[in-house]
Amino acid sequence: MREAGRASIIYAYESLLDRLYSKLPSRGAKASRFELPRLFVERVGGKTLVRNFKQVSDVMRRDPRIVMRYLLRELGTSGNYDEESGILTINTRVSTATLNNLTQRFVKTYVICPTCGAPDTRLERRGRTWVLVCEACGAEQPVPPL
Ligand SMILES: [Zn+2]
């Protein structure tokens, strides 16, 4: 009776360790695997073009229109996304540094899981609430609506 109890405690401890270790390495690997491509920005007249906007959105696994909505709102300007060419046009002049900063902020809020740091997430709309759902650890984090 006593032996069996001890064995099950050891088993529970070992399976706990297994679960811990199985989570740890993938955590670091996933976080470091994520690299945001550099934005290819061009100013044309009074407008700013992001030529690889689709590619960057694809890496983040986000709809380009959602990323655009965020950028335009933060910049307080208008613009449009051309699905055919994958180019974002912003109707004002914006520096590359500003666009890079905003995109990094988008990634931090709407892509990277705050619990485990993995980029394997999706955005879910639940009524008026937007939730960042992590496919790596299952965590859910409400985020500001877009
Ligand atoms: Zn996670």
pLDDT digit string, tens, across residues 87-96: 999 999 999 9
Q: Can you give the pLDDT at residue 16?
A: 61
In terms of domains, do 78 and 99 share one? yes
How much distance in Å is there from the Cα of 23 to the middle of ligand 1?
10
Q: Are residues 4 and 19 in the same domain?
A: yes
How many angstroms separate the alpha carbon of residue 35 from the centre of ligand 1? 17
Query: Are residues 39 and 105 part of one domain?
Result: yes
pLDDT digits (tens, 9 = 90+) for 42-73: 999 999 999 999 999 999 999 999 999 999 99
Shared-domain flag, residues 41 and 27: no
Ligand 1 is an ion; its neighbours by CB within 5 Å are 113, 115-116, 118, 134, 136-137, 139
Residues 22 and 43 placed together within one structural domain of the fold: no
CA nearest 74: which of 59, 92, 53, 61?
Answer: 92
User: How confident is the model at residue 8, as a pLDDT?
Assistant: 66
Q: Which two structure tokens, joined as six digits, stand for 44?
A: 């044309």
Distance 65 CA to ligand 1 centre (A): 24
Same domain? For 66 and 8 the reply is no
CATH number at residue 102: 3.30.30.170
Residues 45 and 18 in one domain: no
10 Å CB burial of residue 95 (0-12, 13-18, 19+) is exposed
Q: What is the DSSP letter of 37?
A: P
- pLDDT at residue number 29: 47
In this structure, what is the dihedral angle of CA atoms 77, 78, 81, 85, given to the nearest 10 degrees?
-80
Do 61 and 84 fall within a single domain?
yes
pLDDT by position in tens, the chain (length 146): 566 566 666 666 666 656 665 555 444 444 456 788 899 999 999 999 999 999 999 999 999 999 999 999 999 999 999 999 999 999 999 999 999 999 999 999 999 999 999 999 999 999 999 999 999 999 999 999 98
121 in the same domain as 77: no
- The count of structural domains within the chain is 2
Do residues 105 and 64 both lie within one domain? yes
| Residue range(s) defining the domain that contains residue 104 | 35-111
| Contact status, residue 88 vs residue 79, Cβ threshold 8 Å | yes
Residues 63 and 129 in one domain: no
Is residue 107 within 8 A of residue 36, CB to CB? The reply is yes
Residue 15 CA to ligand 1 center (angstroms) comes to 21
Asked if residue 107 and residue 44 are part of one domain, the reply reads yes
